[in-house]
A and B are shown apart, each in its own frame.
Chain A
Amino acid sequence: MALIAGLVLAFGITLADWGIRESYFHNMISSDSYSLSFSALLIACTGVSLLLSPMYYNRLNLPYMDIAAMKLFALAGGICIVSFVNLGLLFIGIELLSISSFVLAGSDKRNLLSNEASLKYFITGSVFSSFLLFGIALVYAVTGSFDVTVIGAFYSQAGGNINNLFYVGMLMIIIALGFKVAAAPFHFWAPDVYDGSPAMVTLFLSTMGKIAAFGAFLRLFNQAFLPVPYHIGILTCIMAVATMFIGNLSALWQDSYKRMLAYSAVAQTGYLLLVIPASGSMSADVLFYNGITYIAASVIAFSVLLLLNQYTESESRSQLIGLAKQNPFLAFAVTVAMLSLAGIPPTAGFFGKYYLFTLAAGAGYTPAVVFAVISSLISIFFYFDIIIKMYTGEAQEQLKMVIPPAYSFSIFVSLIVLILLGVFPGILTGLLQ
């Protein structure tokens, strides 16, 4: 409870700081609307995760407090990387986030899969941390600064006449951050980690972890690498499209609900990745909007998973059959979440996709948008399968689900977010200008 209170306080502070633009620690970190809004999002995300935790960990008999601490460390890392000014801090924040994530992934000590996930994450993660470091070094070598504003000024003044090493460094950083957000072909860790980790952690990693990484990714581009070189843009677009297709295609055949959500998370990464080549004026808005939408939908989707875990060992999608009869509210919430993830109006997910597509098309990457559209058709297969399962057929076993208030609350709030943002997307646009 105290933790939650603390988070609420932190959330309040971030909101209270709104409109103040300051930097701290010798310009290592700055508080601006970008950092504040993303920080608030990350805090909220962690808060929900903590809120949902007690029931889950009680069943698993795991030390709830240790895990909560790790989550808070991760949150700290996340806040660092969405607010960084200095590339050094970016690295530190990422490491902070990553190392906590490794631990979290393995937090179900008695579970072999969990251990395996942790190890895989750790090994691959450390490899790609080196990429980040190398990239930062190269950028520093060319520009002579770790400060993104300085780098940005240098780059834009150079106007193309810049040492090629700069681009190599940029690409290195893209690869490293691509790994962090689980973009193809650096996504391989994600399905295994998301699947192997305890469901609670999967939710945390795939929301907080991912959005934080994206926050860093875009912040770096917006501040340092504007305008995005066209080739680099195309490369990221290719990564984005590949990610979508791999995520969506792989999700088709997953019988496990959790694994399907893991691949769905990969696919969603692909869509979000479209903001990177389109960095610039509106991109922060777009990312933020999509972040909220994605988190809200994930919270609902994972809440059901967590609830199911409470009653049954099976994580099969068929557990959802007939859910609508047992619990219409839950089924409705999941329906909205799935529609949102699939990008069907009038849910928030549709507007998010629209926003992304417009951004990418506006930046001149229309073919990528066409591919994105086609891949989202594929996603209908499995998102709608969930809906179909819930509304048709009879449940094999009658689970008398009791939904704890914390769950009801999180689901309800997420639901409101999805619908409200779907109908009035305007309330968030222009927030980060």
Chain B
Amino acid sequence: MNLTFAQIALAALPFLPLAGFAVNGLWGRRFKETTIGIVGCGSILLSFLLSVFLFMANLSGSFATVQVRLFDWIPVANGSIGFSLMADPLSLIMLLVITGVGLLIHLYSVGYMHGDAGFARFFAYLNLFIFFMLLLVLADNFLLLFAGWEGVGLCSFLLIGFWFTNESYNAAAKKAFVMNRIGDLGFLLGMFLIVFTYGSLNFDQVFTAAATAGGANNATIIAITLLLFWGACGKSAQIPLYTWLPDAMAGPTPVSALIHAATMVTAGIYLVARCHVLFSLAPFTLSVVLAVGVATALLAATIALFQTDIKKVLAYSTVSQLGYMFAALGTGAYVAGLFHVVTHAFFKALLFLGAGAVIHALHHEQDLRNMGGLRTELPFVYRIFLVGTLAISGIPVFSGFFSKDEILMNVFQHHTVAWGLLFIGALLTTFYMFRLLALAFWGEKRGHHANYVPMNTTMKLPLAVLAFLSFAGGFAGLPEFTGLNWLHHYLSPVFSDVTLHNEPHLSIGVELGLMAFTVLAIAGVIWFYASRFKHLQTRELNQLNGELPWYKKLPANKYYVDEWYNRLLVQPINRLSDFLYRVADTLIIDGLVNRIGGMVLSAGNRARKLQSGDIGIYLYVMLAGASGLFLLYVLLGS
């Protein structure tokens, strides 16, 4: 087997972080923090360099896709599922995001986690996460993708519960894993249906078979895509499986940035994009995706309006932004969805790390009510945060503007009502982000933190880089009419078979008009908030401390969804468990068995008493028995 250099690079890519995990995991406790940091970041850096190399090679046209089969994993149907990796433009984009943003967050963590007893463990977990994430995006078949898929869930579990002496963190970790598992069951069933239908789990074979079989909107393909989407809902925190993500904020902030904003939660988007051949054949599913995406985007945005925990606001914002991505996918605009994945990775990582910087500086204070006025105290963080806020709000030339605009444009073209809702969502986004900014940085100081923990360079550098990317990242996908949408162009080979875009394109005029409309509306919101933030803030702070009116109480309490889940699912299952154990198992099933035993014993007691010792009775019974035998004989004989 002659391997090209690209193949070797591909094969090495995921295993470098794995090696980092092994080294830090096995010997980390004996290392100094610096060593751990070098191992942890170094392995990601190498992966990043390899990713860049592959990306460059791909750009320069030395290969369209590169594939390497490490070994046969398990035979399924008539073929064999290989432990094999594949990189095409789609994977490569994800690769760059994962290793790039991952590297920055690793660097940041060196400073953020400084002095933590689990420093080595933290980096081991992070590296393991990157390994599984790379496995996820590089897999060339569903099964290996699933391995990565479950693997990132596992790392998410480990990292949410990183401070494992805290019981509530553990509960959040378990909730995340179990909810992901609920989604994974859908994925698993989807895989079964795929093998069953197409006889393979390899992407190539499945997609070719599906494309040749055609038959859009037939029941099988709808079932397959719905099941896969169900899995994606679990991982990417969409309705109804989103409640784990806000709880996942229990993990250290870099984890929230890396896993619960930039990478893992976008795995669902990646999955749908990867399976675009299937999804495009199932317009019904796409409309479901659109509906779920829009609903999630709005629902999470309204909740985010009332959160007081700095990370919770960002968490709901993430859920909401993921909704935008799915909405894009739902209209068949895969590239737009992925574009938002990329820009979101930049600005949301930035926001989380910025929030982390605040939390770090304030000695682990996360409550917005105890912040305020930090602009002067933490000027660097403020500037960073401002960039992120502008980016996510969709202020022109910031990255979020381009990606969100592309999504809105596509949705508008497809479904006006959905567009309207997403438009409102965009306004809400702007509102809650500026509310966050104002509560934390503007106004007067409310907390009683005197000495702020200073940041070191390893924390500042990643923030600076991400701020730059949040600002400039959007230029990878300039609006269509400019003809300069590089990302669209780059990804077009992957999505070349998407035939959905047969509708006429919006004219430049409409497009520009919409754009201007959106931007103006957003600017209006900002102007509105900024001009009277003091009043709004005082009112809100008073309300938050006191009783809220019902229409605010509802979203502030997350629409009681957790409580409903608890009441409708968790508690009944626990009660059922108790019932099954105490009644069904102990009392009925085992009771029945014991009862049979008891019956035998009591029958024994009765049988024993037949032996009365009275010879007269004996003789009587024996002779009666003899006549009985004769009687029986006669009866049987007749």
Which residues of chain A have a CB within 8 Å of any CB of chain B? 119-120, 123-124, 127-128, 131, 167-168, 171, 174-175, 179, 184-186, 188-189, 191-192, 231-232, 234-235, 238-239, 245-246, 248-254, 378, 381
Contact = CB atoms under 8 A, between A and B. Distances in A.
B546 interface: no
A127 B623 CA distance: 9
A185 B603 contact: no
A241 to B, nearest CB: 13
Main secondary structure of the interface of A (DSSP, over half): helix
A119 B607 CA distance: 23
Nearest to A232: B633
A174 B604 CA distance: 27
A239 to B, nearest CB: 8
A239 B629 CA distance: 9
Contacts of B607: 245-246, 249-250
B60 interface: no
Of the listed residues A231, A234, A238, the one surrounded by the most CB atoms of chain B closer than 10 A to its CB is: A231
Nearest to B629: A235
A239 B622 CA distance: 12
B633 A185 contact: no
B615 A124 contact: yes
B228 to A, nearest CB: 53
Given A186-B622, A189-B618, A235-B633, 5 more contacts: A167-B633, A191-B611, A235-B632, A250-B610, A253-B604
Interface residue SS majority, chain B: helix
Given A231-B636, A231-B637, A249-B603, A179 B622 contact: yes
B626 A123 contact: no
Contacts of A250: 604, 607-608, 610-611
Contacts of A174: 629
Interface in B594-633: 600-601, 603-608, 610-611, 613, 615, 618-619, 621-626, 628-630, 632-633
A185 B611 CA distance: 11
Contacts of A231: 633, 636-637
Residue among B605, B611, B618, B621 with the highest chain A CB neighbour number at 10 A: B611
A143 B77 CA distance: 75
A342 to B, nearest CB: 15
A49 to B, nearest CB: 25
Contacts of B619: 123-124, 127
24 contacts: A124-B618, A124-B619, A128-B622, A168-B630, A174-B629, A175-B626, A175-B629, A186-B622, A186-B625, A188-B610, A188-B618, A188-B621, A189-B618, A192-B611, A231-B636, A234-B636, A238-B632, A249-B606, A250-B607, A250-B611, A252-B601, A252-B608, A253-B601, A378-B604
A248 B603 CA distance: 10
Contacts of A381: 600-601
A192 B608 CA distance: 12
Contacts of B632: 235, 238
A239 B637 CA distance: 17
Contact of B605 (A128, A235, A253): A253
B608 A249 contact: yes
Nearest to A195: B611
Contacts of A131: 626
B615 A120 contact: yes
A246 B629 CA distance: 17
